[in-house]
Structure 1
Amino acid sequence: MSHIKLELKQSQLDKIKSICKNFRNDEGELINVLHKCQEEFGYLPAEVQEVIATELNISVAKVYGVVTFYSFFNMIPKGKYPISICTGTACYVRGAEKVLDEFKRALNIPVGETTPDGKFSLSCLRCVGACGLAPVVTIGEKVYGRVSPEGVREILAEYENR
């Protein structure tokens, strides 16, 4: 996925600066600032990270390092229907990887990406806490249990005309 240069509007710039100011422009509050900015924008593109770095007087590399280290931060917008495949132990041993491969094939995107129409994004997570239903897939708030690779197209079909 090529990076499209995002032009931040003045109102967006002001919002980022305001969030940073609420945390006293304190470098030690970087994670809190990132959470608030992601809440506001839905994701953390490079342009947002650059403003945060400037406001907190730290390097862009440091901000980027934190964003890429923690899996709950996103650098690309999530799809309307974010799909997560659990790759925790129970799900993994019951075939989660084959289910994940089928989602990648059906959507024609790798993990961490969003379909060009913005409908679906694909990610992995460690444990949903529904190990008895392994392998587990979530789409938004909805949980699908005992998913097989053959069931992937059927699940996606539920979202076709939404």
Structure 2
Amino acid sequence: MDELLAKLNQYDVVYEIIEHTKQIHSAQEGAEYFGIDIGQTAPTLIMKTDKGYYAVIICGDYGRVDLEAMKALLNVEQLRLAKPNEVEQVTGSKIGSVALINSGLPTIIDKQLFRYDYVYGGTGVPQTTLKLPPDAIVQLNEIVGYLRADS
């Protein structure tokens, strides 16, 4: 978490780290716990492709990710969710705690997150949540594409 905090402070981002007593396992659980719209939750998925790994930050109300559309966006032949051990190897954190900010990992972000002033996602540490504006996610990640850019 030290690297995350250093980056947030380096770029003078408005953020809040929220500690909680239970681990949050889904967008629905997060929305209920924080009393927010499910769309404000921003899970980070790690995808493995034939060109390497990508982070995909989705809006909690997205539902199933369209893998075919994502293949086209990334211009890759193969695409799948990374296995738990791969997620840990690539991000240093377990599934369910992956940070919204992942230095050096190409990232795709769901444009629907920009409907909100603040979104909530992982810090890399269980039982903590990062609250920040969606623009900060773009500023602090290597964005290579957008999901639902035309919605």
TM-score using structure 2 length: 0.25
Give the structure with the higher percent strand.
2
Q: Which has the higher contact order (CA 8 A, sep 6+)?
A: 2
Max Rg structure: 1
Give the structure with the higher percent helix.
1
